[in-house]
Every structure is written in C-alpha cells, then in structure tokens.
Amino acid sequence: MNELEKFLASYFNKKYCCFTGSGTTAVYLILKALNLKGKKILFPAITCMAPVNAAMYAGYDIVFCDINLNDYTIDINNLEALLNKHEIGIIVPTHIYGHRCNMDKISEIATKNNIFILEDAAQTDVLSEKSDASITSFGHTKIFKAENGGGAVCTEDQGLFDSILHEKQKLNNKKENTNELFNNYREIYYSIIKAIKKDGIFWELMLYLQKVSKDVFVYNLDANLKIIEVLKRCNKIVENRIKRADLYDKYLDKASIEIPMISRENVRWRYSFLFHGDRDKLLEKVRERDIDISSWYPSLHRMYSNQKDIEFPNAIFLEKHIVNLWVDPKYSEEKIRNDIENINDILRLIKSNGG
C-alpha cells in the first residue's frame, strides 16, 4: 500500500485499502476480483446509478430489493424473500443519503446464506465492521469530497486484496479529459430527464447512456494526497453537517412532511424527507426562490432488471415523494435558516391551495 492507502486503512480501521479513480471503480474492482458472475448481485432499488453501472460493467446479473420507508435503506423482509427466489452471491447494503443500514441484521442473513457483503459507504462517513468489503468515495458532492476525487475499497482479507490489486493493473489510467467527459455525461443525463417522462423510452435511453459511459466512471488513479488533508478536518466537516441537519430538524414545518427515523449519529449526505402533497409543485416553487432542492432517486428496477413495479411499493412511493435539501458546509447556517423560512412559506401556500 502507498502512503495514502496506509492512511485510509488506518483511518477506517481496516487492514487493507486499495485506492483508485472513483467509488464506482472501487465497486468494479472488487466485483471483478470476486468473480461470482454465476450468482446475482443485489442492490436496493433506491440507489445511485453509478455502483449499479459498475456491476453491469463487471458482467453481473442484477436483482433489486425494495426499501423500507423508515430510513429508506434495504427492507429486511423483502431481502429475505428475494433470497428464496434468486441465487444471490453478493448483497450491497447502501447507506443512502447518509442513513446507515441495519448492518447487524444484514450480516446475520448474509452469514446464514453464505453471501458476500459489499458495503456502499459512498454517502456516509464510516465503514462497518460487518462487511466483507467496503467502498467509499471522495468525489463530487461526497461528505469527504476532495479536489480530483478518488475512491477506495477496504477489506480484512489479504487474498481478496491481492486479487483487487491484480484487477487494478488492468485498468486504464484517468484520462486528461475525464472531467470533460463527466460534464458531457451530466448534460445528456439531465437532457433526458427534462425531455422525456419516465416511461419505457426514458429507461431505454438512460440505460444506453450508462452502457456507453464506462470511461466516465471507471478509471485508475494511484493517489490523491489532498484526501489526507480533508480527512484531517473530518470532525469539523461532520460537525458542520450535523449543525445544518439540526436546523432543518428544529425549524422545518413538519405538518405535511415525514422525516426518516434515524439517529443523530447518521451524518447526512442530504437532508431527505417525504412530502405528502404535490412534490413536483414543491420542487418548482422552491427552485423559483433560488434554493437547491432535488428528488433523488428513482427506483432503478425498471432500468436494469425485469422485475415488476408491484415488487417495489415502497421504492415507487419514495420516488414520487422524496425531497432532498443540502447540508453541505458551503451553505452557511444563515442561508439554511433563510431557506427554511422560504420552504415553510411555500409549504403553507401549497397546503392552503389544497396541493
């Protein structure tokens, strides 16, 4: 391990760490190293496309699990049911929005069924002791984002680590125009979202975009020492995010929204909640006041698998009602307070108009 990898292994309390170009690349490397393509890989239906792309690039068949509406992570009952229907070799518990999964229960189920746990910790600040391997990211918008980004995969298994290093040698290095490629990808991605409703054609176009964009997501990078400087400020970064989340918790009008059931120890990637009203109208009105707001993520079963909507009642409900607000330290506490006042005003207006 190089200087950065030794630092990361120590920081995350893991024996081995392999650093590479992105969190997506980290997922890709470990899936190639495991070589379990005879079995399927299971993701939550609500997740970022990038790690699912990594499984697709690595040649795996993908199965999606519904999420629960308490914290938006993997639904344990649905997980157990799917294990009776599919030959699952890998589970990817994903700490979506910074909400930590029930790793104790997932570990218990995986151990009983001899399933590998690949933890996706790209949107949280810690790695679990219950995973067989964990990935994290220092890329765009992440909690510990660093200029030039990067990703890492950590494990306690030396044999697996050696296989990961072997696969890493096969990667192309990060191209000089990777940032340009990523910006082009984002432009096409949002053009599809704006131009086409989420019907069959939408998912076909979006899947095609993912298939031809491997160079955007998967590439090698040996080190980025700026990450060390970022992690040396981790306590302040975490403190600032918690402060901003606390402001939303304290002042956001809860009359028409449902807050997830998570502890304060969960460091938010976004402040996310469910809006029981016309969510798209809320997004429109909030954006008119120059406030950052989003509705990530759609349920991905329509894009990568043949599973039916009826299997994902919670994921589809969340897709229609999720709202994400920013807790990034670049937004001052004063701005967050002003944003909350504006959002509360909009919530009241929508409610008074029966929306």
Give the Cβ contact number of residue 275 at 10 Å: 20
Exposure of 81 by Cβ count < 10 A (0-12 exposed, 13-18 middle, 19+ buried)? middle
Which pLDDT score, from 0 to 100, does residue 179 have? 86
- Whether 113 and 184 share a structural domain: no
Residue 176 pLDDT greater than 90, yes or no: no
Which pLDDT score, from 0 to 100, does residue 13 have? 98
Q: Tell me the per-residue pLDDT of 45-85, one tens digit each, with 9 for 90 and over.
A: 999 999 999 999 999 999 999 999 999 999 999 999 999 99
Question: Cα(first)–Cα(last) distance of the chain, in Å?
Answer: 56
- Whether 112 and 98 share a structural domain: yes
Q: Confidence band (pLDDT; 50, 70, 90) for 238?
A: very high
Residue 164 pLDDT greater than 90, yes or no: yes
- Whether 155 and 198 share a structural domain: no
Read off the pLDDT of each residue in 226-239 and give the average, rounded to a whole number. Answer: 98
Q: Tell me the per-residue pLDDT of 43-56, one tens digit each, with 9 for 90 and over.
A: 999 999 999 999 99
- Whether 167 and 186 share a structural domain: no
Q: Confidence band (pLDDT; 50, 70, 90) for 220?
A: very high
Read off the pLDDT of each residue in 342-355 and give the average, rounded to a whole number. Answer: 90
Q: How far is the C-alpha of 28 from the C-alpha of 40, rounded, in Å? A: 15
Q: How far is the C-alpha of 30 from the C-alpha of 55, rounded, in Å? A: 10
Residue 288 pLDDT greater than 90, yes or no: yes
Average pLDDT of every residue of the chain = 96
Quote the domain boundaries for residue 124. 3-175+219-226
Query: Last residue of some domain: 187, 217, 247?
Result: 217
Which pLDDT score, from 0 to 100, does residue 199 have? 78
Read off the pLDDT of each residue in 259-288 and give the average, rounded to a whole number. Answer: 96
Q: How far is the C-alpha of 214 from the C-alpha of 207, rounded, in Å? A: 12
- Whether 50 and 131 share a structural domain: yes
Residue 105 pLDDT greater than 90, yes or no: yes
- Whether 196 and 260 share a structural domain: no
Calculate the alpha carbon distances from 172 to 31, 168, 169, 175 in Å. 17, 9, 8, 8
Q: Confidence band (pLDDT; 50, 70, 90) for 269?
A: very high
- Whether 99 and 243 share a structural domain: no
Calculate the alpha carbon distances from 65 to 23, 127, 137, 311, 313 in Å. 21, 22, 23, 8, 11
Decide: 319 and 299 in contact? Cβ < 8 Å: yes
| Packed helices 23-34 and 49-57: angle between N→C axes, nearest 10 degrees | 30
Residue 197 pLDDT greater than 80, yes or no: no
Q: Which residues contact 75 (CB under 8 A, 6 or more apart)?
A: 65, 66, 67, 68, 314
- Whether 333 and 186 share a structural domain: no
Q: In the structure encoding, which two tokens stand for residue 169, read together? A: 């040698």
Residue 248 pLDDT greater than 90, yes or no: yes
Secondary structure class of 303 (helix, strand, coil): helix
Report the DSSP pairing between strands 133-137 and 116-120: parallel
Query: Last residue of some domain: 164, 189, 217?
Result: 217
Which pLDDT score, from 0 to 100, does residue 130 have? 97
- Whether 347 and 266 share a structural domain: yes
- Whether 137 and 159 share a structural domain: yes
State residue 278 phi and psi, 5-degree precision: -80, 90
Q: How far is the C-alpha of 288 from the C-alpha of 71, rounded, in Å? A: 29
Q: How far is the C-alpha of 268 from the C-alpha of 328, rounded, in Å? A: 9
Which pLDDT score, from 0 to 100, does residue 195 have? 85
Read off the pLDDT of each residue in 120-145 and give the average, rounded to a whole number. Answer: 97
> In the chain, pLDDT over 90 holds for what percent of residues?
94
Read off the pLDDT of each residue in 244-267 and give the average, rounded to a whole number. Answer: 96
* Range scoring the smallest mean pLDDT among 15-29, 30-44, 193-207, 209-223: 193-207
